[in-house]
Structure formats: structure tokens, C-alpha cells
A and B are shown apart, each in its own frame.
Chain A
Amino acid sequence: MHIPDGILPISVNAGGYAATAAVTWYSIRKIKQKENPREGIPKASLLTAAFFVVSWIHIPVPPTSVHLVLNGLLGALLGYYAFPAILIGLFFQAVMFGHGGLTTLGINAVIMGLPAILAYYIFRLRKLGSKESPKQDGAFDFLAGAVAVGVSVAIFVGILVTNLPADFISAAAERAAIYTMAIAHLPLLGIEGAITSLLVVFLRRVRPGILDGV
């Protein structure tokens, strides 16, 4: 779900950078409002590195396999650190492995980062209930994971299909491309939701403090 260099027009790349700069500025402002903003940096950094590594775990979906995205869980655990963390992770992916790109770094950060912030708010909805309910918590965890990936897929497909430098793609072909890509990603939504839910159960049992956020 990373758009490489050379595909999007420069205006879209510039728009992506502008949006990313604005969200990063807002996130850093929120981080600086904390009592001790430096305290969260090592935790956010090591969790950024850990999420980067965990995304290498492949889930078998015969006849192929998919790798984890986990931007929903990242949003839930890191809160306002999530957007800078995703930006750093995407930068490393582009530089180290050539996944994504430098000109598209801003737009890719929007694709992965904005849904992570959305997941953070979905995850927090669990606290609205008056009493503890594992089933209700599990449902919100699943939603946070699945919705984050779902929104990422929607933004990714939307940007790609409307901005390919081909002025001659027919409307029918465009629709077919959108439907095919959306359907191909549907199993990923379920897997991401399930893994997020199972991971939160694990974290709650082993190290509940991690769920309080950074």
C-alpha cells in the first residue's frame, strides 16, 4: 500500500507533503504539551522500530501470504506519536528497501497515518462503557485494526486511480480497477482486525501498562 516514486504528479506529492507537515506539526504540538515530552520519546522510538519489524511477519492466505500493516494498533498504542512514527517508518522503508518513495513520502504518510489517528479514537471508545466487557473491548479492538486498514486501502486506491498519468483510461476500466483492488484487500481487513484484537488480549494479560499509551 505504498505508492512508489514516478507515478503521481508533482502537485499531488506536494499536497501530500503539505498535509503531512500540518499533521506532524499538530502531533508534535500535542506531544510538547505533555508534562515531560522527552519521557515518551524512547518508548515511541522503540515501538516504532518494533512495529517496523513486526510488519515483516507474514500471514498465510493461500495461495499467497500478506504482511501485517498494524497501523490501527500503532495508533492505539502511540496516540499522537503515531503519525511521526509512521513517517519515520515509511522513510526507512523507502531508503532501506525501496518500498514507497521519497517524493511520495508525504502522500504515503497520509495514507497510513491518518487512519492510525482514527484508530486511536476508536480504541479509546472502549472506555465509554460503564462496566468492563471483554466482548465489547474485543469488538472495538477489531474495529480499530480493520477500519484503519480499510480507510488506508480506500485512500490508496482513490489516489492511485484518479492520479495515474493516463488521460485515456475508460470509466469502466477505472471502476473495474477500483472494485478489483478493493475486493482483493477485503481479507486483509479481517486479518488485521483479528490480529489487532488478539494482540491487545495478549498485551492486556502480559503488560497492561503498554495500553495506557505513550
Chain B
Amino acid sequence: MKLGLDEYINLDSPFHRWEARYKLIGLITLIFAFSFVRDLRMLLTMVGVTVAIYVISRLPASFMLRRLRFPSFFLLALVLTLPFLSGQTVVLSIGPLDVYREGLLTVVLIAIRFISILTIALVLFATTPLLTTIKAMRALGLPGIMADMALLALRYIQEIGQDLKKMQMSMRLRGFRKRRLSLHGLRTLAWLGGSILVHSYERSEWVYKAMILRGYGHAPHPRAEFQACRRDVVTLGIVLLIAAGFITGDILFGHGTSALLQ
């Protein structure tokens, strides 16, 4: 199984060079500022800022389009239903179905916010190894239990994914076919899941012993691993200013669906 998130981790861009803790604070704040926006003019600015950040990150456009494929199904469901269900002002009639202006604008609002947030999140997590990001979260105050669980889970997801792949291939070679719902099929799939759980549980016992032998629990605080320079602080300041600009602009423009409909 290939997660593919670290495909372009070795590129050189201001976002790749930005220190992980500052990048987390800056881009997460920007993401939340984006989720605050409801005004159409601010939405257009949001598109501009998102495109600029993505271009500066030097990540390829094809990478973004590939990442959009899965989440877009939910968006597609909204695009296909909301314009017909939501609103009062009919702008178009297709047979017995009326398309409402308010529903259409709501879809525009959701789609732009969704794609913009997803793009910024991609810049955040595709320009730093996920392992470093989790360590940065720990340095910013994530409880140790959560950070350790996340790091260990991340370490083993790919291996357990490979185990599942092998087991599924063995089942197919022995003639198992998932064509219809039956008790026999359910039992077989439950036992497949059970085997994965048991194998992982047994592996965890060896992992714990290995961790204790290597001095688990006596590591220095991860804050020492990170060092910020003036450029990191300045970049954070700029991004925070942009985020504050979105919130202020949206409040000044009226912040609400009514603003969107003007």
C-alpha cells in the first residue's frame, strides 16, 4: 500500500523550508479562517490566496487533482441535490425539477471552501514528512500518549496494509469471491479482520518489549528537535495577517448567506 503523501517531500520551496511548528500554526489558522468565510467577494479572494500558496509550494497540479478524486464524491452528491432542494427563487426548470438560486450559491460556497481548505491542508502535509509533523504537534503540546500512539500507528499502518493485501490474495487464490451477501461470506471476512487484529496484537507485545529495551519513556522533550529562524517567524506573521484579513473582511462585508446572495 502506498500512501503517496510524501511523493514531493524533497522539493525546495518556502513551504518545504518553513519550520514544522510554525507551519502548523500558520496554515491551520488559515484553514479555520477559510471555514469562517461566507461572503462571495471573500470567496474569490480565497481562491486567489489558495492558488498563490499552491504555486509557491511548487507541488504539481496533477498531484492536487489526484488527491481531489476521492473527496469529490461527497461534493458531487451535494452538487446534485442542493440546487433542487434548497431555495425559493427559481432560475431554471429542467422538466419537473426546479433549480433554485439559493441552492446553487450554497453549492458554490461549499465547493470553494472545501477545495481551498483541502489544497492548504495538502501544502501543510505534503511539504513536511508526517512523522516530523506529529513530532511538531508533540512539541506544541499534544499529550505524549496521543503522540506516541500516532507515531506507532503510522509506523505500522503500511505493514498491516501489506498483510491484508497478502491475505486477500490468498483468499482469492483459494477460490473466495465477494459477489453476494451471505452468512458464509460474512464469516470469512470477519475471520480475515480477526486474523489481522490477532496478528497486530501479538506484534504489539514484541514491540513493547523492544521499546522498553531501547529506553522508552526516557527520551528528551521533542521541542529540542526544532529550531526556528527569523524567516520562519516572519512567514508566520504574514500568514496570520492573511487569516485575520479574511475574518475581518467577511465581518465587514456582512458575514452570512444573505451576503452571499447579494
- On whether A99 and B156 interact (CB within 8 A), knowing A168-B86, A169-B86, A203-B197, the answer reads no
Closest approach, in angstroms, between the C-beta of A61 and any C-beta of chain B? 6
- On whether A49 and B70 interact (CB within 8 A), knowing A5-B35, A165-B106, A210-B198, the answer reads no
Indicate the member of A24, A49, A62, A65 with the most B CB atoms within 10 Å. A49
Contacts of B185 in A (CB 8 A): 59-60
Q: Does B9 lie at the interface of the complex (its beta carbon under 8 Å from any beta carbon of A)?
A: no
* 0/1 interface trace, chain B 38-75, chain A, CB 8 Å (1 if under): 10000000000000000000000000000110110011
Contacts of B116 in A (CB 8 A): 6
- On whether A168 and B100 interact (CB within 8 A), knowing A84-B145, A97-B70, A195-B190, the answer reads yes
- On whether A49 and B156 interact (CB within 8 A), knowing A38-B216, A59-B181, A198-B190, the answer reads yes
Contacts of A202 in B (CB 8 A): 190-191, 194
Q: Does B257 lie at the interface of the complex (its beta carbon under 8 Å from any beta carbon of A)?
A: yes
Contacts of A13 in B (CB 8 A): 32, 35
Q: Does A118 lie at the interface of the complex (its beta carbon under 8 Å from any beta carbon of B)?
A: no
Determine the distance from Cα of A166 to Cα of B201 in the docked complex, in whole angstroms: 46
Q: Does A96 lie at the interface of the complex (its beta carbon under 8 Å from any beta carbon of B)?
A: yes
Q: Does B130 lie at the interface of the complex (its beta carbon under 8 Å from any beta carbon of A)?
A: yes
Cβ contact within 8 Å between A50 and B143: no
Closest approach, in angstroms, between the C-beta of A25 and any C-beta of chain B? 8
Cβ contact within 8 Å between B117 and A103: yes
Q: Does B186 lie at the interface of the complex (its beta carbon under 8 Å from any beta carbon of A)?
A: yes
Cβ contact within 8 Å between A210 and B197: yes
Q: Does A68 lie at the interface of the complex (its beta carbon under 8 Å from any beta carbon of B)?
A: yes
Contacts of A28 in B (CB 8 A): 143, 145-146
Cβ contact within 8 Å between B160 and A50: yes
Q: Does A164 lie at the interface of the complex (its beta carbon under 8 Å from any beta carbon of B)?
A: yes
Determine the distance from Cα of A46 to Cα of B126 in the docked complex, in whole angstroms: 24
Cβ contact within 8 Å between A41 and B149: yes
Query: Considering the complex, which residues of chain B in the window 142-189 have a beta carbon less than 8 Å from any beta carbon of chain A?
Result: 143, 145-146, 148-154, 156-157, 160-161, 163-164, 178-181, 183, 185-187, 189
Contacts of B106 in A (CB 8 A): 164-166
Contacts of B186 in A (CB 8 A): 59, 191, 194-195, 198
Contacts of A48 in B (CB 8 A): 149, 153
* 0/1 interface trace, chain A 166-194, chain B, CB 8 Å (1 if under): 11111001000100000000000001001
Cβ contact within 8 Å between B204 and A42: yes
**CB nearest to B33 among chain A residues:** A10
**CB nearest to B161 among chain A residues:** A53
Q: Does A26 lie at the interface of the complex (its beta carbon under 8 Å from any beta carbon of B)?
A: no
- On whether A95 and B204 interact (CB within 8 A), knowing A52-B153, A103-B31, A165-B109, the answer reads no
Closest approach, in angstroms, between the C-beta of A63 and any C-beta of chain B? 11
Contacts of B202 in A (CB 8 A): 207
Contacts of B196 in A (CB 8 A): 50, 53-54
Determine the distance from Cα of A95 to Cα of B70 in the docked complex, in whole angstroms: 12
The binding surface of chain A is classed by DSSP as: helix
Q: Contacting A24 at CB < 8 Å: which of B146, B163, B198?
A: B146
Cβ contact within 8 Å between B164 and A5: no
Closest approach, in angstroms, between the C-beta of B218 and any C-beta of chain A? 11
Q: Does A94 lie at the interface of the complex (its beta carbon under 8 Å from any beta carbon of B)?
A: yes
**CB nearest to B78 among chain A residues:** A7
**CB nearest to B69 among chain A residues:** A98
Cβ contact within 8 Å between B203 and A46: yes
Determine the distance from Cα of A4 to Cα of B67 in the docked complex, in whole angstroms: 14
Cβ contact within 8 Å between A91 and B150: yes
- On whether A165 and B257 interact (CB within 8 A), knowing A6-B114, A102-B28, A202-B194, the answer reads yes
Cβ contact within 8 Å between A166 and B153: no
Q: Does A56 lie at the interface of the complex (its beta carbon under 8 Å from any beta carbon of B)?
A: yes
B residues sitting closer than 8 Å to A (CB atoms) are 3, 5, 28, 31-32, 34-36, 38, 67-68, 70-71, 74-75, 78, 82, 85-88, 100, 102-103, 106, 109-118, 121, 125, 130, 143, 145-146, 148-154, 156-157, 160-161, 163-164, 178-181, 183, 185-187, 189-194, 196-205, 207-208, 211, 216-217, 257
9 tightest A-B contacts by CB? A6-B113, A6-B114, A45-B152, A198-B190, A202-B194, A50-B200, A166-B86, A5-B117, A46-B204
Taking A57-B164, A102-B28 as given, write out 16 further A-B residue pairs in contact, using a Cβ cutoff of 8 Å, ordered by the A residue number.
Answer: A5-B118, A45-B148, A45-B150, A49-B157, A50-B196, A57-B193, A59-B178, A60-B185, A95-B5, A164-B82, A165-B257, A167-B257, A194-B183, A195-B189, A203-B194, A207-B202
